[in-house]
A and B are shown apart, each in its own frame.
Chain A
Amino acid sequence: MKALVDADSFYVSCERVFRPLLNGRPVVVLSNNDGCLISCSREAKALGLRVGQPYFEAAGLLTLHGGEALSANFSLYTDMSARLMRTLERFAPRVQVYSIDEAFLDGGSRLPTGGEWADWASAIRTTVRRDTGLPVSIGVAPSHVLAKLACEKQAKHSAEGIGILIDPTVIFRALEETPVEAVWGIAERLGQRLKRAGLWTAAQFARAPDPLIRRLTSLTELRLAWELRGVPTLDPGDIRAPRKTIFCSRTFAVPTRRWEELREAVATYTARAAERLRAQRSEAGAVRVAIRTGLFHPDEPFHGDAAFVRLPAPSAHTPTLTAASIHALQTIYRPGFAYARAEVLLAELSDARTHPTNLFDPEDEAKRVRSIRLMNAMDRINAEYGRDTVWTAICGRGVLRRLRQANRSPRYTTCWEELPIARAS
């Protein structure tokens, strides 16, 4: 059985853990430079506010309803994300981090009935809430795509925050109510093609004969149909849906103590993540790097740490992203430990096609256009001749400038000077 755990209004919820006064009010979190909404509380959504909306449209409505707009505080969010994932690891042997606020759990097949799976999900939800303060929704189903559906269509709309799609008749009913383009991984254009072929609902798509699906789509979408039939055939990482964050990590076959090896690993994961970033035509505004030693070697000292670096401007340029991730690695690496795992997360993703042109610095703009062409060429060569035919040599430190963030909350969990305050008065 697979479970998708998805934190509700993740960024807003992180803020609320340390400022309970924000509970029950419309609260939004703004993107880099306070440009647009990247997270809305339930109350903000009820006012009609949506993620992606520019802030100036929302400002008046928020003030009118006693709401608040906060600048993004990614050092807080990434730390809370790590706490969330760490907590989930207690409930399943395998946790796949899908994004900053979502993870798939492989629950195995140890529980016989749907009711027991509901109890399992409920225990996860209660523990996460208690340990981290974060509310989550959980979908449980035999495949990843169904778990996603269970989470979005059922859990998010139920008071318990839990959706179970295990019983075949319940699954079928849910699929009948889902338009085909709402299936996770089916892009809008493909959805239109499927509809022209008469496949309007997820149920019709799932029941269509394989040769028909194959004729209309690629192999990935055929696997999607199998997922909808309850057969796990896809790894969450292979599903083509635009991501809010891109995550690339590995546990090393052999732990390493050497800075050069660790640096190379982080540079490689950054390059992989950057490839995926460009494939979905996004740019990243920030990079997070985490490393840790092995978990199961009692005789080896444990060290684990993470650092977050914000880029001066959103970028999909491998050398820029690598410079940032190596800079982050430098701040957390400590010699003498046998590192067993490294993670790279690209966050604050935005649409590369809406990147504001820099009118005031034509030279800079020309450089940017050239670097995009270079990256595209690199991706094409690597796609044609195999991964890592062309790569970038590791370069020096990135330049980190301060950005406009008018209403950022304190870095409650990552900075001694900004700890939350408890009153004793």
Chain B
Amino acid sequence: MSFSTSNPRLTVLGKYTAGRKVPLPLVAARISAGFPSGMDDFIERKLDLNELLIRHEAATYFIRVQGDSMTGAGIHDGDILIVDRAEEPRPGRIVIAVINGELTVKRIARRSKRLFLQAANDHYPEIEVTPETPFEIWGVVRYVIHSLE
């Protein structure tokens, strides 16, 4: 299952709907070790996308993308980002940064001790972050929800 932010070929598992858990039934295959009690070894449970996609529930927000500056990172106009504020914003990670009071999507990069906010599209220049730059990391993007319809 690849569901990464850097790979544009995403495996879509199902459609995620309004704030609800979407239980997908899974019947596990018969297992030979364990509890040998006739019918009971068919374990049935539901798959929950929240379990897969959300690490810190209280700190996770969904944010919609507007624009094409991150297409190189597999993030397209109209996609929904799963953003975790409790995650550490390290270089290399894609983040929501507040620039001039607006939420923007960027990748953090560090080159020779200098810090940059980069787009993933050659048409957009990178921004160097200096102590004078008024910016703030709002949260770290963990997943992209991209519709293929």
Measured CB to CB, the closest approach of chain B to A215, in angstroms, equals 48
- Given the interface pairs A301-B46, A419-B62, A423-B66, the reply to whether A132 lies near B85 with Cβ below 8 Å is yes
Contact partners of B98 in chain A: CB under 8 A: 20
* Complex: A415 Cα to B62 Cα, angstroms: 10
Q: Is the CB of A422 within 8 A of B96?
A: yes
Q: Is the CB of B58 within 8 A of A86?
A: yes
Contact partners of A21 in chain B: CB under 8 A: 101-102
Q: Is the CB of A422 within 8 A of B58?
A: no
Q: Mark A290-320, 1 if CB is under 8 A from B, else 0.
A: 0000000000011101000000000000000
Measured CB to CB, the closest approach of chain B to A70, in angstroms, equals 16
B90 within 8 A of A: no
Contact partners of A133 in chain B: CB under 8 A: 85, 138
Residue of A nearest to B65 (CB): A424
Q: Is the CB of A424 within 8 A of B20?
A: no
Contact partners of A424 in chain B: CB under 8 A: 65-70, 75, 77, 104-105, 119
Contact partners of A23 in chain B: CB under 8 A: 101
A421 within 8 A of B: yes
- Given the interface pairs A87-B58, A422-B96, the reply to whether A301 lies near B103 with Cβ below 8 Å is no
Q: Is the CB of B136 within 8 A of A20?
A: yes
* Complex: A303 Cα to B22 Cα, angstroms: 11
Q: Please provide the chain A residues from 122 to 143 with a CB less than 8 Å away from any CB of chain B in the complex.
A: 127, 130-133
Q: Is the CB of A423 within 8 A of B59?
A: no
Residue of B nearest to A413 (CB): B61
Of B23, B58, B67, the contact of A132 (CB 8 Å cutoff): B58
A425 within 8 A of B: yes
Q: Is the CB of A131 within 8 A of B68?
A: no
Measured CB to CB, the closest approach of chain A to B144, in angstroms, equals 11
Residue of A nearest to B103 (CB): A422
Contact partners of B102 in chain A: CB under 8 A: 20-21, 423
Q: Please provide the chain B residues from 1 to 38 with a CB less than 8 Å away from any CB of chain A in the complex.
A: 17-21, 23
Measured CB to CB, the closest approach of chain A to B97, in angstroms, equals 9
Contact partners of A108 in chain B: CB under 8 A: none
Q: Is the CB of A131 within 8 A of B119?
A: no
Of B46, B56, B67, the contact of A425 (CB 8 Å cutoff): B67
* Complex: A130 Cα to B65 Cα, angstroms: 22
Residue of A nearest to B46 (CB): A301
Q: Is the CB of B23 within 8 A of A131?
A: no
Q: Is the CB of A303 within 8 A of B64?
A: no
A385 within 8 A of B: no
Residue of A nearest to B64 (CB): A419
Measured CB to CB, the closest approach of chain A to B133, in angstroms, equals 14
A83 within 8 A of B: yes
A416 within 8 A of B: yes
Interface size class of A (residues with CB under 8 A): 20 to 34
Of B18, B64, B68, B85, the contact of A422 (CB 8 Å cutoff): B64
Q: Please provide the chain A residues from 104 to 155 with a CB less than 8 Å away from any CB of chain B in the complex.
A: 127, 130-133
Measured CB to CB, the closest approach of chain B to A19, in angstroms, equals 8
Q: Is the CB of A301 within 8 A of B23?
A: yes
Q: Please provide the chain B residues from 53 to 103 with a CB less than 8 Å away from any CB of chain A in the complex.
A: 56-59, 61-70, 75, 77, 80-81, 85-86, 96, 98, 101-103
* Complex: A320 Cα to B87 Cα, angstroms: 43
Which of A83, A84, A130, A425 has the most B CB atoms < 10 Å from its CB?
A425
- Given the interface pairs A23-B101, A132-B59, the reply to whether A421 lies near B85 with Cβ below 8 Å is no
Of A19, A82, A420, the contact of B63 (CB 8 Å cutoff): A420
Q: Is the CB of B63 within 8 A of A20?
A: no
* Complex: A382 Cα to B105 Cα, angstroms: 58
A99 within 8 A of B: no
A414 within 8 A of B: yes
Residue of A nearest to B137 (CB): A130
Residue of B nearest to A414 (CB): B19
Q: Mark A392-425, 1 if CB is under 8 A from B, else 0.
A: 0000000000000000000011111001111111
Contact partners of A415 in chain B: CB under 8 A: 18
Q: Is the CB of B101 within 8 A of A305?
A: no
* Complex: A83 Cα to B98 Cα, angstroms: 21
Of A18, A19, A87, the contact of B59 (CB 8 Å cutoff): A87
* Complex: A349 Cα to B96 Cα, angstroms: 36
* Complex: A133 Cα to B66 Cα, angstroms: 22
Given A301-B48, A412-B61, 9 other A-B residues pairs in contact with their CB atoms under 8 A: A87-B59, A130-B86, A131-B86, A301-B23, A416-B19, A419-B64, A421-B65, A424-B77, A424-B119
The 9 closest A-B pairs by CB, nearest first: A425-B67, A21-B101, A131-B59, A424-B67, A86-B58, A424-B69, A422-B103, A83-B58, A419-B64
Q: Show 24 A/B contacts (Cβ-Cβ < 8 Å), sorted by A.
A: A19-B101, A23-B101, A127-B86, A132-B85, A302-B48, A415-B18, A416-B62, A419-B62, A419-B63, A419-B80, A420-B61, A420-B63, A421-B103, A422-B65, A422-B66, A422-B104, A422-B105, A423-B67, A423-B69, A423-B105, A424-B68, A424-B69, A425-B66, A425-B68
What residues of chain B have their CB less than 8 Å away from a CB belonging to chain A? 17-21, 23, 45-46, 48, 56-59, 61-70, 75, 77, 80-81, 85-86, 96, 98, 101-105, 119, 124, 136, 138
